[in-house]
Amino acid sequence: MEIICRNPNISLSNDKEYVLVDINKFLSTGQNPKREFQEWLDTIQFGLFHTVEPTPCSPMRDDDMRQRVREIDHQINKTFIGNRYSRFTNKMDRFWLLGFFEDGHRGRLTRHLHLLHYIPYDQLKIKGSKSFQRDMVKNHFQFLWSNNPFVTSLNDTRPMCPIHIETISTKKNSVSVSRYSSKEIHRKRNYDDYFFSY
């Protein structure tokens, strides 16, 4: 399947109406053209770049990471925007994250997750410079990630795997990290390795 963004200024929506899905004879079913997807990412100014690194002493399955990211996204929206965020039709008025799973040099043993974090500065309840707002969101994300224990499906509590958070202050940096994060989406084994938090 091919994902094409016809208008880069269109808002994100629940039913993903910002994409048109067509069959492209040069792509396998389910494959997204890398260039078009990255060009769409280039139109977005992300504010934070997270890297989640599960380790042998604190492993975490992909589904658990996805769920935790979605829960934190909900908490951050509630904290910095309020409950009204869930009624927004334009997804650019709320926080959201785009995650990319990536295998390391040793395959699944070093699998990690890159997250691009969109920040709706104009909607935030806290005022101040964008740098101040980014730092507040960064600190709150780190707090929520680290201080809520990870409980497995067998009710086994484990330490949280490390997360590294960097700020993205310029459009050029945003393009660089989005290109880096999405570098492998065209590979067949990576069809399901990216997700949106909403």
Distances 81 to 96, 123, 126, 145 between C-alpha atoms, Å: 12, 6, 9, 19
At residue 105, the pLDDT reads 61
Is residue 67 a contact partner of residue 74, using CB atoms and an 8 Å limit? no
| Tens-digit pLDDT profile for residues 74-117 | 999 999 999 999 899 999 999 999 999 988 665 555 688 999 99
| Tens-digit pLDDT profile for residues 161-188 | 889 999 999 999 999 999 999 988 876 5
At residue 152, the pLDDT reads 66
Task: State whether the Cα torsion 33-36-39-41 is positive or negative.
Answer: negative
Mean pLDDT of all residues in 12-38: 53
For the cut 90, the answer to whether the pLDDT of residue 154 exceeds it is no
Candidate from 7-16, 45-54, 104-113 with smallest mean pLDDT: 7-16
pLDDT bracket for residue 60 (50, 70, 90): confident
Is pLDDT larger for residue 28 or for residue 59?
59
What 3-state class would DSSP assign to 49? strand
Greatest extent of the chain over all pairs of C-alpha atoms, in Å: 50
Radius of gyration (C-alpha) of the chain in whole angstroms: 17
At residue 78, the pLDDT reads 96
Decide: pTM greater than 0.85.
no
Is residue 90 a contact partner of residue 11, using CB atoms and an 8 Å limit? yes
